[in-house]
Amino acid sequence: PQDLKFDGERTFVEIGDNTVIREFVTVNRGTAESTRTVIGRNCLIMTYSHVAHDCVVGDHVIISNASQVAGHAHIEDRAILGGLVAVHQFVKIGTHAFVGGATKVTQDVPPFLKVVGNPAKLYGLNTVGLTRSNFDPDVIRELKRAYRLFFRSDLILSRAMERAREELKPYPEVEHFLSFLSNSERGLAV
């Protein structure tokens, strides 16, 4: 791995079935003894991309051309990174998130949302992706309400969480969204 702490330990890379890795992609193994970098099943890692040491990439993830994912990043299932995306170390990108091309991601990207730019800014719910994935329209509507509550109101995070628990239907997707926000360690792209 490209990590100065590496000292020849036995480490691994795990790549799931049906994942396609195109030309000139680099994937680094884990750093510390018995650690691993994991790329899930049915992913597409396009030309000139890089997945650094100790990353976890979920299933059905698309990493487009020349995107760079730094060490210890975690990309949940079905997220899509556009071309030339730079993901900072330890960042987490949520399931079904869409990261637009040439975006610099230094903070966590909540699940089901779109983010683009430098600095990265949220641009609403990934409704196109969710519709293509056959999400129930009621779930999409509730996720949209959650997005507005947290990112388009004047509420602080703790108050928005209280209101979300009171007002939103507890669909599994909504619960995952709320859990992701609660457990963010790097802060959230806004």
Tally of CB atoms within 10 A around 106: 18
Distances (CA, A) of 78 to 57, 99, 155, 169: 10, 12, 29, 23
Task: List, by residue number, the catalytic residues.
Answer: 53-54, 71
Element (H, E) at 165: helix 157-167
Alpha carbon 146 to its chain centroid, in Å, reads: 18
For helices 157-167 and 137-151, angle between their N-to-C axes, nearest 10 degrees: 150
Measuring CA to CA, which residue among 120, 122, 110 is closest to residue 181? 110
